[in-house]
A and B are shown apart, each in its own frame.
Chain A
């Protein structure tokens, strides 16, 4: 049978202490649950969520519909992925050197790097994380 039509077997479940009458050691211990916000969002008031649209950043792992966690308080540095306003459009690009000068680069040969010098490009924020969801 092909793997796709067969649910993967789960390891067997062992009874929890509570069921068999033993006091659970977890009872008076509130576990501190890991919080994804804490990991991805360092500055809540300065952080905004955006969605990526387009295919030209796939080479750097950013796909259409991905969630962008953008922190506006991070000073941009070469190598960062930035959200920038360029000729009235909001773009997501990588901030990098191209032929020795800073450019906004995409990961696709069809889209040439946009030079930052002598353009009215403005920084919107720095992308701290990208969330790609595999299931709806």
Chain B
């Protein structure tokens, strides 16, 4: 069985852990600098505020106290994501992060009932230990696990955990209702071509002859059909969903603890990710890096560090992404560990063209000719023909973040406060403000 653990409204949920007053209220998280909504609570979705809504249009609602808007706090989300992955590693034999809030768990040799129980345990633990709501989808293949997760989220009677076996009537009924475009890895264009052949539902795709699909469409689509039947044949990385996030990760041929080697691997992944980013004409807002040691080597110390680097403005420039990689490795590297796998994720992507149309929004779009030339040469002459050297200048990572919550888990000066009695925190705030005011007045007074 394969499980997909996916947090509900992850960014908003992270904020609520440390600010319980946001519970039950419409909350949105904005992108840095450009000020559009990139994450919404269920309450905000119910108000029909769309993803990507510019925050200046919501300013009125915010002033009236009807909605809460926060700047994105990538340090907090990155840290909570690392904790989530760790809790899964404590419970499951094999864990692979797929995005900042989605992780696959691999449960070979467990019975269906055991998988169901494990899913429930994991969901309860993450809720209690981290305060985060998650849903768990369990199925024999990646494609079905994604579907199971979707069902767990949408249909409340599953209570957050949905297990789908390949040949159950429930699975068949679900696939018959599901439009083929909602199947993982089936893009809009392929869905249109499939519709021409009369294939509109996931069930119809499942019933297709894989050989025909392979001949007329692609190997991936043929495999997707097999996955819907319960035959696992797609790697996690084949399941890339464009336009949301891009990940490149790979295991090393031989484990290494050498910083320069790790850096080289992360740089390769970053360059590959940046290429994919430009291919689909997107910009990224943040870069997430991770390393993992070999969990099978019980004799060796285990570590799975990660680092989240938000970009000053959305970018597709390899040089800026590489600078984030350098900074991220600096943050997460610990000597004395043999790492087996490295990965680079590009998060919270925006459409480059749409973004460029708005003059108010700063972006660091790569020099188009330079990047195009590099990508073309690499495609023609093989990967890594042209690579980027170290950039010298420190990129400005400072972000505008007027409404950012505290970095509760990564900054000593920004910890969450606990009052010893009701009103204690408010009283302390008033006292601090009075002291500041008194100090300002003292300074402003002319010397007698």
Contacts and interface: CB of A to CB of B under 8 A. Distances in A.
Interface of A: 43-46, 48-57, 62, 64, 67-68, 72-73, 83, 85-93, 106, 108, 110-111, 114, 122, 124
Given A45-B86, A72-B129, A56 B421 contact: yes
With a 10 A CB-CB cut-off, give which of B83, B424, B428 has the most chain A CB atoms. Answer: B424
30 contacts: A44-B86, A45-B90, A48-B408, A51-B415, A51-B416, A51-B417, A52-B420, A53-B417, A53-B418, A53-B419, A54-B421, A56-B420, A57-B420, A72-B128, A72-B129, A72-B131, A85-B20, A86-B422, A88-B20, A90-B20, A90-B425, A91-B421, A92-B418, A92-B419, A92-B420, A108-B420, A108-B421, A111-B420, A124-B20, A124-B131
A111 B129 CA distance: 29
A106 B421 CA distance: 7
A50 B424 CA distance: 15
Contacts of B82: 45
Interface string B371-414: 00000000000000000000000000000000000001100100
A53 B21 contact: no
Interface string B36-74: 000000000000000000000000000000000000000
B87 interface: yes
A48 B418 contact: no
A83 B425 CA distance: 14
Contact of A45 (B83, B131, B423): B83
B420 A48 contact: no
Closest 6 pairs (CB-CB, A-B): A54-B424, A54-B420, A45-B86, A92-B418, A57-B420, A111-B421
Contacts of B421: 54, 56, 91, 106, 108, 110-111
B427 interface: yes
B7 to A, nearest CB: 15
Main secondary structure of the interface of B (DSSP, over half): helix
A49 B415 contact: yes
Contact of B418 (A43, A55, A91): A91
Nearest to A107: B420
Contacts of B129: 43, 45-46, 72-73
Contacts of B422: 86-87, 89, 91, 111, 114
A55 B86 CA distance: 36
A88 B21 contact: yes
Contacts of B96: none
A48 B409 contact: yes
A90 B415 contact: no
B130 interface: yes
Interface in B118-135: 125, 128-131
Given A49-B409, A55-B420, A72-B130, 14 more contacts: A43-B129, A45-B86, A45-B87, A46-B87, A51-B417, A53-B419, A54-B428, A56-B420, A73-B129, A88-B20, A90-B20, A90-B425, A106-B421, A111-B420
